[in-house]
Amino acid sequence: MLALLLSLGLVLAACGSSDEGGEDQSSGGDSGESEDSSGEEAANGDFSVAMVTDVGGVDDKSFNQSAWEGLQAFGDENGMSKGEGFDYAQSESDSDYVTNLNRLVRQDYNLIFGIGYLLQPAIEEVAGQYGDTHFAIVDSVAEGDNIASITFKEHQGSFLAGVAAAKKTQSNQVGFVGGVDGDLINKFEAGFVAGVKSVNPDIEVDVQYAESFAAADKGKLIATNMYNKGVDVIYHASGATGNGVFAQAKDIKNNDPEANVWVIGVDRDQYEEGSVGDTNVTLTSMVKRVDIAVQDVSTQSMNGEFPGGEVLEYGLADDAVSIARTNEEALTEDIISSIEEWKEKIVNGDVEVPSTREDLETYVNSL
């Protein structure tokens, strides 16, 4: 009987040790052990990642959608599914940012992305409260050892979009539609105008802002006014607001198949958005590989190599920004040749593309 009781005690002790080890592993430990625990989670298939959209939404055909596609690709690569390894939280207004971030933290996601510079204050606030969780902000630089900042040289890609517009216009009038007027979208504006003026300083560039990334109606109204006054190529950097620009161009093309109206998309290849019967109004798109950046940072975090506190910057030299060539009929060899010529000058450092309105003024005056 005594031997039996001793044996039973040893079995129970062994079970107790196993349970306690499981609890310790799932708790994540203190901040000093966060990278090691991330590696263990990856090995056990427990790593999870999510993103919070800005007000444009996950299906904005632009910035948020590109980020979501990157997250989906990461999930597919690692045998995950939506809600089981990766997910997103939709923001209807800026008041949702902190709420969504906190909800994803409570759901124990290891890495949480904030998509767009508008989320920077919310990311810094929530990341400061949860040191063991990894965060990443796209299109802004945030302070925090557990935050990775992902940025792009949008002005470089926008310069090439300006070259394409300048080579395509027949009226010598082109337009730029921005979302919210601020430092980030000013980079798109400055690069685009510089590219246009580098080809032909006499081309007029109409610049207007919708003051929203989620106002397709405003985008359509601005595009209507621009096209009516003779603009024939519009470059938009406005998220879901740009859907209205495409809608107006397609309406004009439907009513008059011979009309010379074009749209330059942004962030992802927006060729499909310009389809009108057998033709397409998307001249090209300034592609920003948000999807690749999201996928890369997710992989680093899962492997215990999260670039916390670092600023990651992607540009032409990294092929992280580029000009889409899907519309082969519209994007002629002459235009492509000019784009490649200017791209080489930028990559080689022969041309310093302006990223602010002040730098743009200096650049244009030097032409």
State mean pLDDT over 228-244.
97
Identify the bridge partners of residue 284 per DSSP, sorted by sequence position.
264
- Position of tokens 């994803």? 104
Which of the four pLDDT bands, split at 50, 70 and 90, describes residue 204? very high
Structure confidence at residue 25 as a pLDDT band (50, 70, 90)? very low
Per-residue model confidence as pLDDT tens digits over 152-171: 999 999 999 999 999 999 99
Gap between the Cα atoms of 238 and 357, Å rounded: 18
pLDDT at 132 over 90: yes
290-337, pLDDT tens digit by residue? 999 999 999 999 999 999 999 999 899 988 899 999 999 999 999 999
pLDDT above 60 for 10? no
In this structure, what DSSP letter does residue 273 have?
G
Q: What is the pLDDT of residue 308?
A: 97
pLDDT exceeds 90 at position 5: no
* 47-94 residue pLDDT tens: 999 999 998 889 988 889 999 999 999 999 999 999 999 999 999 999
Give the whole-number percent of the chain exceeding pLDDT 90.
83
Q: What is the pLDDT of residue 45?
A: 64
d(CA 194, CA 82): 42
DSSP string for 221-267: HHHHHHHHTT--EEEEE-GGGHHHHHHHHHHHHHH-TT---EEEEEE
How many C-beta atoms lie closer than 10 Å to residue 30's C-beta? 10
Q: What digits encode the pLDDT tens for the residues 47-57?
A: 999 999 998 88
| Domains detected in the chain | 45-152+291-316 (3.40.50.2300), 154-287+332-366 (3.40.50.2300)
Q: Rounded mean pLDDT of 210-239?
A: 97
- Residues 73 and 239: their CA atoms lie apart, in Å, by 21
pLDDT at 152: 95
Give the separation between CA 41 and CA 138, rounded to whole angstroms.
24
**pLDDT score of 351:** 97
Residue 58 sits at φ, ψ, to 5 deg, of -70, -15
- Residue where the block lists tokens 């990334």: 213
Secondary structure E strands in the chain: 49-52, 81-82, 85-89, 111-115, 134-138, 147-152, 173-178, 204-209, 233-237, 262-267, 275-276, 279-280, 282-288, 311-314, 321-323
Closest CA to 245 of 7, 54, 113, 62: 62
- H/E stretch holding 213 reads none
First to last CA, the chain: 99
Assess whether pLDDT exceeds 60 at residue 26.
no
| Rounded (5°) CA angle 280-268-96 | 125
Residue 126: left if φ>0, alpha if ψ -120 to 50, beta else—which one? alpha
Q: Give the chain's mean pLDDT.
A: 89
Query: Do 343 and 179 meet the contact criterion of CB atoms below 8 Å apart?
Result: no
Residue 29: what pLDDT? 36
Sign of CA pseudo-dihedral 315, 211, 128, 100: negative
Please give the pLDDT value at position 319. Answer: 85
For 197, other C-beta atoms within 10 Å of its C-beta total: 18
